[in-house]
Structure 1
Amino acid sequence: MFYQAFQYIKFLFKSTNQHGVHSPFVYNLVTKCFYDKTHHEDYRIISNYRKSILKNDTKIKVTDLGAGSQVMKQQERLVSKIAKNAGTTNKRAKLLYRVMHYFKSKNVLELGTSLGIATQALSLGNPEAKITSIEGCTETSNFTKTQLKNNLTKNISLITDDFNNAIEKLCTNQFDLVFFDGNHQKAATLEYFETLLQTANNDSVFIFDDIYWSKGMTEAWEIIKSHPKVTVTIDTFFWGFVFFRSEQVKEHFKIRI
C-alpha cells in the first residue's frame, strides 16, 4: 500500500490533462473519450449490475491463480466483499464503456472476468462486438456466467481455464482490444503481453490494470513501454494504455482522469 501511495504522489507531479498533449490522436482520445461528460443511458445498467453484485451474499470458493488479493486472504469469500475490495469501480467501468464506444472494437479479449462488472461494460460499449473473457477460478466463473445471463448479456463467451492454456488456443485470433485484468505478476504479465502481441493489429489497444500494483508490475509496465512494436502509451495510474500505430511517433503520456 505504501508503494502505491508513493507512486501516486509521483504520478500527480508528472501527469497532465489534455493541455499537455500535442499528439492529435491522444488529444482526441483524452477529450472525446476519457473526459467525455455525456450521461450515457447504459451507465444506469452498469451501475445497477454493480449494485446487485455488492448486495449479493453468495459464498464462493476462490482459487487465486495470480498474485491474489491484497486484502482478502481466506479462500471462501462473500461475493459482496469481493466486489467491494477487488471489483471494478463504477468510474472505471464507465471509462471502459467509453473506450469501447469510442474505438468500436469488434474483437475483444479480457484476461480475468472476476464478477463480470468490466465484462458487462465492454459488452454494452459495443453490442456488436465479440467478447472473449477468461476466468481461472471455476466457482467465480460459474457465478458470473449466471449473472451475465440473467442480465441478458449475449455477446460474451466466457472461458474457464488457466490463462496460459486459454491464450495458447486464442493466439491465432486477432483482437482489437485486450484488457489485462488478472495475475498481477511481472513475469506472467510480460508473458501474456509477448504471446498476445501476435494478435494485435495497427489499431489495437492493450489495457493493463494496476500497473502500480507492485514494484514488479511497474517494472513490467516499463518493459512493455520500451518494446519496439509499441508506439504510444498512456499512463492513467490505475490503467496503462498501449497502442501499436505505426504512423505515430513513439511517445509516452501520463494523463490524470
Structure 2
Amino acid sequence: MYKFFQHVKFLLKATNQHGVHSPFVYSYLTKCLYTKHRFHKRKTLNILLKSIDYFNVERVRTNDSGAISQMITEHYPKVSIIESKTDLIFLKKPEKPLIAQILSSTNSISNDCILLIDNIYLDAEHKNIWNDLKNNNRVSVTIDMFYCGAVFFRKEQEKEHFKIRV
C-alpha cells in the first residue's frame, strides 16, 4: 500500500523531457531513456543497460549476487565488473553504510560516475536513503524515475533534482 500511494504522488509531480531545462539531463532522457530499444522487460534493468550503452561505461560495480553482473556481461562483453574506480555503480539493495562508504571514498567516484539505485520507493527506509543522497554535497544531479534513481556527481553542473516518468 505504501508503494501505491508513493506512485500516485510521484505521477502527480513527475514530468517528461519537456519539463527539463538541463541540457545534460534532456540529452540523457531523449537519446537514452526514451529510445524505443528495450533490453529487458523490467524498467530498472532496462534503464541500467541503456545507461551503460549511452555513457560508454567500461567499469561497473554492483552489490548484486551475480545475476545482474552476468546480464551486463552478456549484453556488453567489454564491460568489467570491478570494485575499484568505476564508471557506474548499480545498487540493487541500497544500504546506508554502503552508500556512506561509496560517497566517502575518493577512489570510487569520479566526476562522470553514475550511481543507479533500484527500488527507491520500496519502503520508507529506501525513500529516506534516497532523500539523504539528494542532499549530499557531492551529488549534483538526481533523477527520480520511481522504479530507480540516478545520481550524478558532475562538478560543472548546478545541483538539481528531477522526477521523470519513464
Is this a same-fold pair by TM over 0.5?
yes
The correspondence of residues 1-257 of structure 1 with structure 2, limited to 5 A, is: 2-38=1-37, 43=39, 89-113=41-65, 116=67, 118-132=68-82, 170=83, 173-182=84-93, 189-197=95-103, 198=105, 199-257=108-166
Given residue 129 of structure 2, which amino acid in structure 1 is its aligned partner? Answer: A
The RMSD of aligned alpha carbons is 1.7
Deviation at 1:238, TM superposition (A): 1.0
Distance 1:246 1:17 in 2: 24
Deviation at 1:125, TM superposition (A): 4.7
- Give yes or no for contact 2:145–2:164 (8 Å, CA) kept in 1: yes
The structure whose residues are more often helix, as a share, is: 1
Deviation at 1:248, TM superposition (A): 0.3
Gaps of 5+ in 2: none
Distance 2:35 2:75 in 1: 14
Distance 2:85 2:21 in 1: 30
- Give yes or no for contact 1:105–1:126 (8 Å, CA) kept in 2: no
Distance 1:248 1:108 in 2: 23
Higher Rg:
1
- Give yes or no for contact 1:100–1:125 (8 Å, CA) kept in 2: no
Taking a change above 3 Å as real, the CA distance of residues 233 and 125 of structure 1, as seen in their structure-2 partners, is farther
Deviation at 1:112, TM superposition (A): 1.6
SS in 1 for 2:111: strand
Deviation at 1:235, TM superposition (A): 0.2
Deviation at 1:247, TM superposition (A): 0.3
TM-score, structure 2 normalization? 0.90
Given residue 195 of structure 1, which amino acid in structure 2 is its aligned partner? Answer: Q
- Number of paired residues? 163
Deviation at 1:101, TM superposition (A): 0.4
Of structures 1 and 2, the one with the larger relative CO (CA 8 A, separation 6+) is 2
Distance 2:36 2:27 in 1: 14
Distance 1:174 1:222 in 2: 24
Deviation at 1:126, TM superposition (A): 3.3
TM-score, structure 1 normalization? 0.60
Distance 2:134 2:88 in 1: 17
- Give yes or no for contact 2:58–2:87 (8 Å, CA) kept in 1: yes
Distance 2:18 2:24 in 1: 14
Gaps of 5+ in 1: 47-88, 133-169
Given residue 177 of structure 1, which amino acid in structure 2 is its aligned partner? Answer: L
Given residue 99 of structure 1, which amino acid in structure 2 is its aligned partner? Answer: S
Question: Could you report, residue by residue, the CA deviation over 1:135-184 in whole angstroms, capped at 9, with x for unpaired residues?
Answer: xxxxxxxxxxxxxxxxxxxxxxxxxxxxxxxxxxx4xx2111110102x5
Given residue 179 of structure 1, which amino acid in structure 2 is its aligned partner? Answer: F
Deviation at 1:194, TM superposition (A): 1.5
Give runs of ≥4 in structure 1 deviating > 4 Å.
none
- Give yes or no for contact 1:94–1:121 (8 Å, CA) kept in 2: no
